[in-house]
Amino acid sequence: MQFHITTQLPYTQDDFKLIRDAIYEYSGIHISHDYQGIFMRRLERRVTALGMESFHEYYYHLKYTQGNQDEFRNLMDVITIKETYFFREVDQMKTLINEIIPVLQQEKQRETIKIWSAGCATGEEAYTLAMLCIEKGLHVGSSRVEIFANDISQEAIHKAKQGVYRQTSFRTTDSSYLTRFFIPQPDGSYKIHDDVKEPLKFFCINLQDKNRLTFLPMFDAIFCRNLIIYFNDESKQKVIDSFYQKLLPKGYLFLGHSESLINFTHLFKLQHFQHSLVYQRSA
Ligand SMILES: C[S@@+](CC[C@H](N)C(=O)[O-])C[C@H]1O[C@@H](n2cnc3c(N)ncnc32)[C@H](O)[C@@H]1O
């Protein structure tokens, strides 16, 4: 039996594997062996907060206590990596707004374009889309453009709904956006204007939970960036299948710069736009 000393509480490889597999089953997040030390240190905070004395005890609580879905939800707040910021990989958003939406509006003669920020973390991605739409003269709300955003972390969604951000979220934000769309707060943070915030629909949903996804409408575009890097091929496949189901024919899927579907599925084709490459669902 091998013990590791990266945590105050000792753990075995079996403890790690059992909890890792339970997390994978629930969320699709694959925790690699290299990340084990950091993961167990994060997890330890949750175990001790619950007053438990071992990872083993925690595993049984997670798996077998009635209402364990609540604990899975709490666990997601602890283990997910919610790194994000405003205007991240903004060229893709500009492609949607300047090149794709005008064509959709002409072709489909529809009132509303629906966009989904899947795995939005604390909301910066969804708010950036909203600001760029407003800047372009598009009405964000029940007509023209509707923006939905979800994350598995309830804490992240709570923060997104509050819409209050610190400097680190603005690392690539032009100050003109801060002036136009945010209200400075006495503690140095910035609060997004209510008229940008109110029309956005934030909700806590696990992308691996197909049943909950059925309640979502069909989308013209999905942004799912910097998320499937945490999935293995099996969970990536599940989520890509769900996006296929939730995208209108010829709808667009935006992945992060380090993520790709090459040699993975024939359901999407890579399309070249002026400043970005975007996956398009088959018709
Ligand atoms: C690194 S952040 C990316 C945020 C944003 N998309 C961006 O690119 O800036 C990844 C987010 O994916 C969320 N996530 C991971 N697995 C998920 C799942 N199964 N369902 C929904 N969200 C998930 C995490 O909670 C985290 O907030």
Query: What are the start-end ranges of the H helices in the chain?
Result: 13-27, 36-49, 55-64, 68-79, 90-94, 101-108, 124-135, 154-162, 175-181, 194-197, 210-213, 233-246
Percent of the chain with pLDDT over 70: 96
pLDDT at 115: 98
Measured from the CB, is residue 23 less than 6 Å from ligand 1? no
Residues of the chain with CATH 3.40.50.150: 90-281
Nearest to 247 by CA among 220, 279, 224: 220
pLDDT at 3: 47
pLDDT digits (tens, 9 = 90+) for 171-218: 999 999 999 999 999 999 999 999 999 999 999 999 999 999 999 999
| Ranges under pLDDT 70 in the chain | 1-5, 108-110, 142-143
Q: At 260, which helix (H) or strand (E)?
A: none
Please identify, by atom number, the ligand 1 atom nearest to the C-alpha of residue 82. Answer: 27
pLDDT at 109: 66
Instruction: Calculate how far, in angstroms, residue 244's C-alpha sits from the geometric centre of ligand 1.
Output: 18
pLDDT at 6: 73
pLDDT at 69: 83
Q: What is the pTM of this model?
A: 0.95
Measured from the CB, is residue 88 less than 6 Å from ligand 1? yes
> Residue 227 and residue 28: Cα distance in Å, rounded?
10
Whose tokens are 């939730």? That residue is 246
pLDDT at 1: 47
Instruction: Calculate how far, in angstroms, residue 226's C-alpha sits from the geometric centre of ligand 1.
Output: 7
Cα 105–111–112 angle (5° rounding)?
85
The CATH code for residues 2-79 is 1.10.155.10
Instruction: Calculate how far, in angstroms, residue 79's C-alpha sits from the geometric centre of ligand 1.
Output: 11
pLDDT at 185: 98
> Residue 80 and residue 29: Cα distance in Å, rounded?
9
The CATH code for residues 90-281 is 3.40.50.150
Please identify, by atom number, the ligand 1 atom nearest to the C-alpha of residue 84. Answer: 9
> Residue 27 and residue 193: Cα distance in Å, rounded?
33
Measured from the CB, is residue 151 less than 6 Å from ligand 1? yes
